[in-house]
Amino acid sequence: MGFDLIVTNGIIVTASDVLSHGIEIGIKDGKISCLGTCLPRESSTEIIDAKGAYITPGGVDSHVHFAQDNSPTGDNWETGSRSAIGGGTTTVLAFASQRKTEDSVLPCVEEYHKRAKDQSYCDYGFHLILTNPTPSIMEAEMPLLISQGITSVKLYMTYEPLKLGDSQLLNVLMSARALGFTTMVHAENSDIISLITDRLEAAGHTDPFFHAISRPQIAENEATYRIISLAELTDTPILIVHMSSEIAMKHVRKAQTRMLPIHAETCPQYLFLLSERLKGTHKDKFEGAKCVCSPPLRHDPKDLEAMWRGIANGTFTTFSSDHAPSTYDHAGGKKLGMKDGVMRYRNIPNGVPGVETRLPLLFSFAGREKDSKLSLQRFVQLTSSDPAKLYGLEGTKGSIAPGYDADLVIWYPETEMKEGVVIEQKNLHHGVDYTPYEGMTVKNWPRFTILRGKTVWDRENGGIMGKMNAGKFLQRGKGRIVAGKTGQEVNGMLTGERNYWY
Ligand code: URP
Ligand code: ZN
Ligand code: ZN
Ligand code: ZN
């Protein structure tokens, strides 16, 4: 047999264990073929000496926006996926976004496939953003998409061109229940935001900072509780994306305590950035536009601490980047948000970059040091194995075990990383012109990223080594519930009085 590659001397971290006793990883044909000691070498076997460094499964970023219609100056597949592997992410799940006027989603999915094909450095899949869930789409097209490996949808409760009302949300949840797809929800109360925005505008408060004022925690709180209620009624699992506030997170925690299959996601921006960043700098008052995202950055360091607690205590199932930036200068954020010398937050495209910095930022706080906030296993769960399970990639992505794709991140040995790494825009590989983390120091950075047995990022020798067409489309299976009643089928059991109507 013989291995193509053996990774030796590392400390293997999985969702359950830290294996620090010299276990080797044997890789053949892009898959992990065995873990063991004293694996046999042949002359053709490549050896990577991990020198006592941590080895984690390749990152699975289950929430990125690449090449979307509504973000003309954002990342395309080439730049976005390149940025992913530069930061240890080997799988991304992006979006195909239905336009409200479309009564079929198949042409739209086709179009998004074309944008990604042969353009990705990492493996990828799609979620479908449903903005007009007609009966024929739900009955005829969704089963087809599921059979083609698109097994999740995102629904919006806010944004005029995207949002669904409660009856539409209920219908999609009933369909999710019957068909077994995974439902992601952007939970903010749209009418609250509109009311405040109109009144702020009338009072002349249109600077980027007022973006945060216009989307208060109560808007997230109300929508979160509402969608959990609709999910409970229909007995359907959901994942609430990009959660930013404790008051909303508590609803998730309570639901999970009741064994409801309610999942939640948070993102780096809600662990590290506060709304004061929206005020800009002396040099550039408009610079706050770089940190406009929704839900917005919150005001109080206590809000960040609350999100860290949700990370550590298991409330969050996934830690994704929600990478959705627009170029700041020139055609992007600045020009759109600034007209005739007046700043208007309403016109600033929402979203920050983060696909490349996601793993290093969280890894800095994982482990057993004094300032650690989560275990190494929790790091792996949040960044790789749980998103893989939730979105139907179990058995292929998200673990270091025989049969899985050989997607690995090899970090620097601590002996070689005493000073840490300063995050700088000039070292990142995305297509936009800023990072909100400029100047921040992280403790470590991926030394190697390995995609299906091939080194695609080598920080010491050449940087990006992968090829733009190396990433393949992942035909995903149905997701597995990882919060609440685990083991329950996604399209659940009929129990008790609920029998009478579904
Ligand atoms: O501000 C954000 N998050 N924009 C991206 C779109 C979304 O809602 O995820
Ligand atoms: Zn040995
Ligand atoms: Zn969203
Ligand atoms: Zn998003």
Closest among 430, 442, 360 to 71, alpha carbons compared? 430
Query: Closest ligand to 187 CA?
Result: 3
Complex ipTM value: 0.88
Ligand 1 touching residue 322 (CB < 6 A): yes
- Written as one string, the DSSP assignment of 289-301 is GGG--SSPPPS-H
DSSP state of 350: P
Parallel/antiparallel/unpaired status of strands 123-129 and 89-97: parallel
**Ligand 1 atom nearest residue 63's Cα:** 9
Integer Cα distance of 356 and 325 in angstroms: 12
Q: pLDDT digits over 344-368, tens only?
A: 999 999 999 999 999 999 999 999 8
Distances (CA, A) of 154 to 60, 108, 309: 17, 15, 26
CATH code assigned at 430: 3.20.20.140
Q: Which of 322, 326, 346, 348 is the pocket-test mutation for ligand 1 (most atoms within 8 Å of CB)?
A: 322
280 CA → ligand 4 middle, Å: 23
Parallel/antiparallel/unpaired status of strands 408-411 and 123-129: unpaired
Domain count, the chain: 1
Ligand 1 touching residue 351 (CB < 6 A): yes
- Give the largest CA-CA distance in the chain: 74
Does the pLDDT of residue 57 top 70, yes or no? yes
Ligand 1 touching residue 242 (CB < 6 A): yes
Instruction: For the chain, give the percent of residues with pLDDT over 90.
Output: 89
Q: Which has the higher per-residue pLDDT, 190 or 286?
A: 190
Q: pLDDT digits over 452-464, tens only?
A: 999 999 999 999 9
Range of the domain at 297: 1-502
Query: Closest ligand to 41 CA?
Result: 2
Ligand 1 touching residue 81 (CB < 6 A): no
Parallel/antiparallel/unpaired status of strands 46-49 and 5-8: parallel
Integer Cα distance of 358 and 88 in angstroms: 9
Q: Please state, rounded to an integer, the average pLDDT across all residues of the chain.
A: 95
Q: Which amino acid is at 448?
A: F
Q: Which residue has the tokens 């709304």?
A: 275
DSSP-H helix ranges across 273-390: 301-313, 333-337, 358-363, 376-380, 386-390
Q: pLDDT digits over 245-263, tens only?
A: 999 999 999 999 999 999 9
59 CA → ligand 2 middle, Å: 29
Instruction: For the chain, give the percent of residues with pLDDT over 70.
Output: 96
pLDDT in the model for residue 484: 84
> 460: which 2 tokens?
């010491």
